Amino acid sequence: PFRWQAEPDLPEPKVHEWIRTLEPSAAHDTDWSRIDAAILGVPLSRSSISASAASETPEEFRRAWRSFTPYNLEEDIDLTPLSVVDLGDVRQHVTDISRCHQSIREAAATMQRHHPSTLPILIGGDHSITAMSIMGIKDTRPEKSIGLLQLDTHFDLRSLEEFGPANGTPVRNLIESGSLRGSDVWNIGLHGFFNARSLRDYADRAGVNWITMKEARRIGLETAVHSALTQLEKKVDTIYLTVDMDVLDLACAPGTPAGAPGGMRTEELFEAVRIAGTHPRVRGMDIVCLDPRRDINQITIKTGVHVLLSFLTGFMQRDKA
Amino acid sequence: PFRWQAEPDLPEPKVHEWIRTLEPSAAHDTDWSRIDAAILGVPLSRSSISASAASETPEEFRRAWRSFTPYNLEEDIDLTPLSVVDLGDVRQHVTDISRCHQSIREAAATMQRHHPSTLPILIGGDHSITAMSIMGIKDTRPEKSIGLLQLDTHFDLRSLEEFGPANGTPVRNLIESGSLRGSDVWNIGLHGFFNARSLRDYADRAGVNWITMKEARRIGLETAVHSALTQLEKKVDTIYLTVDMDVLDLACAPGTPAGAPGGMRTEELFEAVRIAGTHPRVRGMDIVCLDPRRDINQITIKTGVHVLLSFLTGFMQRDKA
Amino acid sequence: PFRWQAEPDLPEPKVHEWIRTLEPSAAHDTDWSRIDAAILGVPLSRSSISASAASETPEEFRRAWRSFTPYNLEEDIDLTPLSVVDLGDVRQHVTDISRCHQSIREAAATMQRHHPSTLPILIGGDHSITAMSIMGIKDTRPEKSIGLLQLDTHFDLRSLEEFGPANGTPVRNLIESGSLRGSDVWNIGLHGFFNARSLRDYADRAGVNWITMKEARRIGLETAVHSALTQLEKKVDTIYLTVDMDVLDLACAPGTPAGAPGGMRTEELFEAVRIAGTHPRVRGMDIVCLDPRRDINQITIKTGVHVLLSFLTGFMQRDKA
Amino acid sequence: PFRWQAEPDLPEPKVHEWIRTLEPSAAHDTDWSRIDAAILGVPLSRSSISASAASETPEEFRRAWRSFTPYNLEEDIDLTPLSVVDLGDVRQHVTDISRCHQSIREAAATMQRHHPSTLPILIGGDHSITAMSIMGIKDTRPEKSIGLLQLDTHFDLRSLEEFGPANGTPVRNLIESGSLRGSDVWNIGLHGFFNARSLRDYADRAGVNWITMKEARRIGLETAVHSALTQLEKKVDTIYLTVDMDVLDLACAPGTPAGAPGGMRTEELFEAVRIAGTHPRVRGMDIVCLDPRRDINQITIKTGVHVLLSFLTGFMQRDKA
Amino acid sequence: PFRWQAEPDLPEPKVHEWIRTLEPSAAHDTDWSRIDAAILGVPLSRSSISASAASETPEEFRRAWRSFTPYNLEEDIDLTPLSVVDLGDVRQHVTDISRCHQSIREAAATMQRHHPSTLPILIGGDHSITAMSIMGIKDTRPEKSIGLLQLDTHFDLRSLEEFGPANGTPVRNLIESGSLRGSDVWNIGLHGFFNARSLRDYADRAGVNWITMKEARRIGLETAVHSALTQLEKKVDTIYLTVDMDVLDLACAPGTPAGAPGGMRTEELFEAVRIAGTHPRVRGMDIVCLDPRRDINQITIKTGVHVLLSFLTGFMQRDKA
Amino acid sequence: PFRWQAEPDLPEPKVHEWIRTLEPSAAHDTDWSRIDAAILGVPLSRSSISASAASETPEEFRRAWRSFTPYNLEEDIDLTPLSVVDLGDVRQHVTDISRCHQSIREAAATMQRHHPSTLPILIGGDHSITAMSIMGIKDTRPEKSIGLLQLDTHFDLRSLEEFGPANGTPVRNLIESGSLRGSDVWNIGLHGFFNARSLRDYADRAGVNWITMKEARRIGLETAVHSALTQLEKKVDTIYLTVDMDVLDLACAPGTPAGAPGGMRTEELFEAVRIAGTHPRVRGMDIVCLDPRRDINQITIKTGVHVLLSFLTGFMQRDKA
Ligand SMILES: [Ca+2]
Ligand SMILES: [Ca+2]
Ligand SMILES: [Ca+2]
Ligand SMILES: [Ca+2]
Ligand SMILES: [Ca+2]
Ligand SMILES: [Ca+2]
Ligand SMILES: [Ca+2]
Ligand SMILES: [Ca+2]
Ligand SMILES: [Ca+2]
Ligand SMILES: [Ca+2]
Ligand SMILES: [Ca+2]
Ligand SMILES: [Ca+2]
């Protein structure tokens, strides 16, 4: 009889075979201590200032990573020894944004409380989720300090009063809620005419550390990242990495709501993220503000998946002694 | 010296010259009794079930109507005797949807209370705004009954509990809040496989009147509209017309979040709306669920503006005796 | 604790919940006599004369039907009593087209032999698969005659010698291989300048029955379909329905390799297919030549899914006495 | 040895094989009395009011007609007995529009003077070329009257003083230059809000005959065309047909600079043009205002070629007795 | 009562609030000595060799700069102390290109004569406008020499006889009209296979100075720009900067009529333009050949606005002593 | 009389005038010893793993090179002294891929046998053609060794058993068929997560030499290319250059079936190919896996033509002593 479609026998899994889907029903029977990282989709973008379909990114990631292999040829790193699970999406509400945010915060808190050895990776969604993710971690361990390494074109320090917990305000939200100190934030990649002067003034008053693209290129982007990590490790217990895809040059990442010319190059971002992945104190990360509807030929979504895998490459290279 | 760009001298205005912009500051000094219709942009689409940029439609309308003249050649109707003002947009909040909705409701109530002789036309935004618009009217005159003529592919009767006041629930919202009776709703244009059977059952239990595309074509779409208006005029004080752009066939209106094949033709919609415009009891209308980001070659946005002008053509033809 | 994403409780399934996936491993333990219809993806388009990504259609169907409900509002037909399974894709080879075709033929033969009471629905792929599908049926029951109802802009009678079993030759292939008689073919929807005169001459010599779009509109498309079915039921044991998506007007179905202006309207096709579905002797069908890469805003893919559901609506309406 | 690419042996030519290219150098040795129709590309669109790439249409026609056969299946008309030549493009200047126009006028005059039995078909370019084409004919035979059958969404009667010989003014240009009388113009297809009332007044004062889409559909478009031809044949020696592609509904022809919703359907236009082709006094035609850069999936360009072939189908059906 | 849409209270203006629109009627009452720079839209692209919608760029600039702030974070330069006005568009004719050009020339002359302390910035339009702009300046002060710093993929030295004052000829036009000397032209950014050898020979004979992309990268683009400015300041009174957007790599600027692979990077252009802005003798500039219709996701239009703001950043940094 | 369109008199040809088309009928009367290079289109992409329209590339090349001049300004190299002919396309079959491959192999063999002094340049088509091209050369001169310089994101060493001679297997095909040794293959440009670890292991076992993007950038891409050529010239008689367009970063070359972020920059590729062109032992080359249907604004197709001309620039610079 005829054969239905079957995957050919391969000596190794592809990315979608290597990352296991963990159903909620199986969560309790799982030995979480052996899970290195867990991916949580956060399909929320109604909190975005401008219209965004970033809510579709988690599903697009799952489709796009089928065309990647879990082997980084340039670094000669095989990711398959890592145990990575996909937890699916955090449930979101259609019209109650605060309920959405609460769910994200609880998800992060739950992960931190019950599965502290598993590194959470959130796939946004818009940048508002970062505030919720870090607050959730903080809720669980309020005595521990958290630092933020942010790769972004923007400060994300706009007025909470005016916008609420939107994608333009997460860092301000974190500072003003006491979840972290301004001086424990490092933002790399800011550039151009996309941050009002008053926001820069706020950043300086709050002690936020920042390195523009121009400066980062002058000293070397790798140096900039290493420097930020070195500073942070002296001051905080946990470092959280947040990658706003609009840090990339608009021509390299057409699929973001606020993309701008003059940004980071793709290979620069991959290397920055890989380096962050190698640092043992980086214990959470997210990728946000990728709008698949604006994307062209999947340039941005493939780049987003590559960011994820670059981070995991660094994680594999991490000295776990 | 050189001349700057100037509009050529024309014997007649274009649409953007004919529709006057009314600044908030001038509202008090305006003789509203001489204003026939007022356009209110409602840039809200974060209450949409699927990601939508319908919030950009009001601004796109204002750009697109520059290429229209206020003269309907086929009906030989000159719209310029009508006094139509553009009030700008109802202010929306970034992360608090209930505050957005409240503003719309207040806008509709204010218009009804202070300028009852001016017909309000809302340019959405998603379909959730229709519930707010009608509730606002109802707030002002609770003793008056309102009927709804809805042109839509969908019932918009999904669960309020599950979705809240989203674009899938406005009619249910209106019925369950007592703003109108199910039997005072006429929905024309439903078709295909886009309404769960349970929603149809709800519609029937609630007494909602509905005519599918197939039935409407059998009896004639004009007949269907006339019949709905005739029924409604016997039962309600005020008729509100809502046009969900997704009632159109997907090939005729690619720019909607939930477009479907098998829908209404463009010229059918224009005629349906013109007829509704002629009915003296139609005292409010809106156009919703047009997503300019999904649009192609401005097909949908131009069609939306045409719907607006077709309605005003009917309004001019209305027997005002 | 937080809740992962969950489907809301609904009283009824959506299309992707209603159509069950049947894994090959479970095929033997299945009571096929209770399965009304089985969907087989046929991801083959390297046999297309012009470059085509029709091979991606089965997977796109599976994504697109998530936005459909199994309830036809216009016909008031609930499809959920039907048992429909998705068998996945027939395995295709990358560089050996004859092996691909052999697999399709075997699949059709196997279905016919072992599960004769289950109606097979093939989702192409290009039109070459129709020849294989019918040959497979014929292989199993060589004594039974098969008739073909073809909705197409083209005769598909091009030279086998020149092209081999390509998407331009399936009907010629079937006639010349003796799988069916030319006089048992009815082609409805031919139009324009897209069939060489010599092909029409071949059609006439072979006795192929054909009705152009212009003629079909003159007599009524429904009449044309009924007439073809009535003629066929007198002459053949089994009728096979094949829908080439390029029968649609190019503006209604931009996503086909050989789309042309002047074709069928969407709602005409839905009705034609529904009528074919009602005929008890129609025991196989396919949908072919839909190229998702050329599609715009999913117009064609949504239309393709609608064709499938329209056929099943007719199937539900079929008098099974 | 290997064979280079070769066209397969076919019993009949394709359109690009049937339409012969006539090089300027061969023009003198040609027996023009045996040439039925001659195609002239007119790659001019810098005279378009809004930016347009209609200048690219002649070349796109030549590419697109490779996918058409010279056989109309619906009419059972084989075009190959017609002798049709492609004369290439009328040379255009980059910055001197009046020189461009003069070349077109001379081309039309030359054709009329030296090859009066060959029907000229101009492929624009924007609508300004129609004025030049008719003026060229008039230059040659000033004593003969010319009538115009125009299929258009617009009157093309805008102010010559303001715009000069642009795509918005050709009919006014013809009337005011005395090339034809307003009463010898028939415009079919006007609709919507795209002609200022003052233009309609001008049309009426000038005696221009016009039938809107709505009226044409009421009486039947075929009736409208027949009626216009019947009126014109009583009054003029020669009828010139001009097809502005924007007469089509925007969804049917996305590739025009001023497309609008609510226009003619594709099959309606094909039939209208075919009927015009059958009239023996129609001795010139053009197709204008098709902008390939705005086109989607070649919908408009394929439709344009189909218009050309539909006209020639009528020409074949013409009673030449 | 409800509040209409209002801009939130901000401590600083956005770009569209900072750049004031100056109506023609107010021009006489303006103290021009306090205006640092004036923007003039030049919506002319019918003089482009290939079809171009560069005429739409001025309006697109005005829309796009709403998403920029007048603060350059990387340079820590606040632009708001600069007084910049938008004068609107130079009026253009539809069919008389020489009249268009004359208006531009007069506009430049008028600015130079009456408002010499205000730096004019022209937003094209195609490159033909540069010749007119410089000729206008020269008309006013014929005794002063002008030098040209051109960032372009092309020499723009094609034959005036053949093309007239088109977008391929402005530099030749300037040289042959005696408006400037070939040796006072510096072209940086030429590359690839896009300039015929004869044009390069013409350039060399005329003494035009040029630095290819490859050479510019070898010596450093900043060095190249500084070097050109240093040479020019020795020889001319006024330096005019012209930025042809096609100097950018096609992937960085998809929206140009003649874009090519292998060009300048976005950040290189920003820096080149900023440096030019710092030079006190640069007293005029333009941005040309940006076609918004070819643009993708606003990459090119945002880049164009960024070029404008980068130039103004340099202007702020200029030593005005 | 009017003038038809004529090319303006230029002192030099454009690319499409310089590259002569050689008709098969004229092949025998041609003095091949004076032909430096011959272009062969290979319109085959049905052997591509994923759907690809690379078969349309040869025709698109011929259209696109009309906008290039045969003069490299950056290198000051005039290509016109080279004699380059376009032989048209190798004939391909619709459904028999092995016959397609055989034709390509014979074409390459014929060129090698009869016209050994003419360098063959194949324009694909997918990467499967490279195996056929090299096998054809080997067929003619089995005693001569061939080396491969491959610029690619992928090894192209996937299983022949599973895929057959597809675009994922050409290098394996060549090694396993004994056409060349693994150690005579140099692959430059590999990167990211797009090669399974088992393929890398195969490469190492087979002795394939490879340099990743990261390594190539570390040592300098030019150094990498020179080094590969230097190694190869010691070991093989003939070097064949194959350029898989997906070696480019996805943002630089959106039009490939398997494009990936993190790849080579456009100008890097141009330089790499030019260097390869200078090496006297490079006696064959091809450009493959460019899918024009996925392209955006012709970025990739223009880049492909530029690659061809860059190679010929190197060829002109070659020391032919
Ligand atoms: Ca950002
Ligand atoms: Ca951000
Ligand atoms: Ca709806
Ligand atoms: Ca609705
Ligand atoms: Ca077909
Ligand atoms: Ca077919
Ligand atoms: Ca028109
Ligand atoms: Ca017109
Ligand atoms: Ca240029
Ligand atoms: Ca230029
Ligand atoms: Ca590859
Ligand atoms: Ca490859």
* SS3 category, E88: strand
Closest alpha carbon to D171 in D49, C29, D179: D179
Contacts of F296 in chain A (CB under 8 A): 296-297
Element (H, E) at B102: helix B97-114
Model pLDDT for residues F184-218, shown as the tens digit of each residue:
999 999 999 999 999 999 999 999 999 999 999 99
Q: Which residues of chain D have pLDDT under 50?
A: none
> Quick one: pLDDT at residue F226?
98
Question: Tokens representing E159?
Answer: 């034959």
Per mean pLDDT, which range of A37-51, A151-165, F19-33, F168-182 is the poorest? F19-33
CA distance D80 to chain F (A): 26
Cα of E247 from ligand 10 centre, angstroms:
8
Q: Do E91 and B41 touch (CB under 8 A)?
A: no
Cα of D254 from ligand 7 centre, angstroms:
13
Question: Tokens representing C172?
Answer: 């010629």
> Quick one: pLDDT at residue D219?
97
Rounded Cα gap, residues F280 and C65, in angstroms? 58
Q: Is the dihedral of CA B52, B58, B62, B65 positive or negative?
A: positive
Model pLDDT for residues A41-80, shown as the tens digit of each residue:
999 999 999 999 999 999 999 999 999 999 999 999 999 9
Contacts of B166 in chain A (CB under 8 A): 94-95
Max Cα separation, chain F?
74
Contacts of F252 in chain E (CB under 8 A): 249, 251, 261
Question: Tokens representing B217?
Answer: 């074509």
Q: How many CA atoms lie within 13 A of D59 on its CB side?
A: 10
Question: Tokens representing F205?
Answer: 């076992």
- Other CB atoms within a 10 A radius of the CB of residue A78 amount to 17
Max Cα separation, chain D?
74
Give B8-13's long-range contacts (Cβ < 8 A, gap of 24+). Answer: B8/D159, B8/D162, B10/D196, B10/D198, B11/D196, B11/D198, B12/B69, B12/B70, B12/B71, B12/B80, B12/D196, B12/D197, B12/D198, B13/B70, B13/B80
Rounded Cα gap, residues D236 and F209, in angstroms? 80
**Strand residue runs (E) in chain F:** 20-21, 37-41, 71-72, 77-78, 84-89, 119-123, 146-151, 185-190, 209-212, 238-244, 282-288
Task: Give the list of residues 6+ apart from residue F16 with CB closer than 8 angstroms, or none.
Answer: F62, F65, F66
List phi, psi (to 5°) of A21.
-80, 130
In chain B, the N- to C-terminal Cα span, in Å, equals 54
SS (H, E, C) C204-273: HHHCCEEEEHHHHHHHCHHHHHHHHHHHHHHHCCEEEEEEEHHHEECCCCCCCCCCECCCECHHHHHHHH
- Other CB atoms within a 10 A radius of the CB of residue E249 amount to 28
Q: Is the pLDDT of residue F132 over 60?
A: yes
Cis peptide before D182 (omega within 30 of 0): no
Ion ligand 3: residue ranges with CB closer than 5 A:
B 152-154, 244, 246
Q: Where are the domains of chain E?
A: 15-317
Residue of chain E with shortest Cα separation from F303: E261
Task: Give the list of residues 6+ apart from residue C190 with CB closer than 8 angstroms, or none.
Answer: C152, C153, C154, C155, C210, C211, C212, C213, D73, D74
Contacts of C106 in chain A (CB under 8 A): 1-2
Max Cα separation, chain E?
73
Span F221-230, average pLDDT: 98
DSSP bridge partners of A248: A264
Closest alpha carbon to B245 in B185, B180, B292: B292
> Quick one: pLDDT at residue A2?
66
Please say whether the beta carbons of B166 and B160 come within 8 A.
no
Please say whether the beta carbons of B65 and B15 come within 8 A.
yes
Span B154-167, average pLDDT: 96
Model pLDDT for residues A120-155, shown as the tens digit of each residue:
999 999 999 999 999 999 999 999 999 999 999 999
> Quick one: pLDDT at residue D321?
54
Amino acid, single-letter form, for residue F11: P
Please say whether the beta carbons of C224 and C216 come within 8 A.
yes
Residue of chain B with shortest Cα separation from A53: B51
Query: Looking at the partner chain, which of E162, E212, E259 has a beta carbon nearest the beta carbon of F74?
Result: E212
Rounded Cα gap, residues B267 and B290, in angstroms? 17
Q: Is the pLDDT of residue F65 over 60?
A: yes
Ramachandran area for residue D7 (φ above 0: left; ψ -120 to 50: alpha; else beta): beta
Q: What dihedral do alpha carbons F12, F15, F18, F23 form, nearest 10°?
A: -150
Task: Give the list of residues 6+ apart from residue B204 with CB closer than 8 angstroms, or none.
Answer: none
DSSP bridge partners of F39: F86, F121
> Quick one: pLDDT at residue F9?
57
Contacts of D52 in chain E (CB under 8 A): 51
Q: Do A97 and B96 touch (CB under 8 A)?
A: yes
Model pLDDT for residues C87-107, shown as the tens digit of each residue:
999 999 999 999 999 999 999
Candidates B73, B249, B264, B290: best to mutate against D (most CBs of D within 10 A) is: B73
- Other CB atoms within a 10 A radius of the CB of residue C10 amount to 14
Model pLDDT for residues E14-47, shown as the tens digit of each residue:
999 999 999 888 888 899 999 999 999 999 999 9
Per-chain mean pLDDT for chain B: 96
DSSP bridge partners of F240: F148, F284
Closest alpha carbon to C167 in C301, C44, C34, C57: C44
- Other CB atoms within a 10 A radius of the CB of residue D190 amount to 27
Contacts of B11 in chain D (CB under 8 A): 196, 198
Sheet of E119-123: strand order equals E20-21, E84-89, E37-41, E119-123, E282-288, E238-244, E146-151, E185-190, E209-212
Rounded Cα gap, residues F160 and B115, in angstroms? 78
Closest alpha carbon to D76 in C215, B113, E22: C215
Pairing of strands E84-89, E20-21: parallel
Q: What angle do CA B186, B190, B194 make, to 5 degrees?
A: 135
Please say whether the beta carbons of C285 and C244 come within 8 A.
no
ipTM higher than the 0.95 cut? yes
Q: Do B250 and C73 touch (CB under 8 A)?
A: no
Q: Do B251 and C299 touch (CB under 8 A)?
A: yes
DSSP bridge partners of B138: none
Query: Which residues of chain C approach chain B closer than 8 Å at the C-beta?
Result: 8, 10-12, 14-15, 67-75, 78, 251-252, 266-267, 270, 296-299, 302-303, 306, 309
How big is chain E, counted in residues? 321
Span F139-164, average pLDDT: 97
The DSSP result for B148-171, as a single string, is: EEEE-SS-----HHHH-S-TT-HH
CA distance E85 to chain A (A): 19
CA distance C191 to chain D (A): 6
> Quick one: pLDDT at residue B24?
83
> Quick one: pLDDT at residue B316?
97
Going by pLDDT thresholds of 50, 70 and 90, the confidence category of residue B25 is confident
Model pLDDT for residues C234-267, shown as the tens digit of each residue:
999 999 999 999 999 999 999 999 999 999 999 9
Q: Tell me, rounded to whole angstroms, the distance of Cα E275 from its chain centroid.
A: 14
Cα of B163 from ligand 4 centre, angstroms:
14
Question: Tokens representing C137?
Answer: 């049926």
* D15-317 is classed CATH 2.60.40.1730: no
Please say whether the beta carbons of E231 and E208 come within 8 A.
no
F269-295: b (≥16 Cβ within 10 Å) or e: bbbbbbbbbbbeebbbbbbbbbbbbbb
Q: How many CA atoms lie within 13 A of F303 on its CB side?
A: 40
pLDDT averaged per 10 residues, chain C (length 321): 61 93 89 97 98 98 97 98 97 97 97 96 98 98 98 97 96 98 98 97 98 97 98 98 98 97 98 98 98 98 98 92 54
- Other CB atoms within a 10 A radius of the CB of residue B70 amount to 27
- Other CB atoms within a 10 A radius of the CB of residue A221 amount to 24
Query: Which residues of chain A approach chain C closer than 8 Å at the C-beta?
Result: 1-6, 24, 41, 43, 87-92, 103-104, 106-107, 109-110
Rounded Cα gap, residues E69 and F298, in angstroms? 33
* SS3 category, A244: strand
Chain B neighbours (≥3 Cβ pairs under 8 A) are A, C, D, E
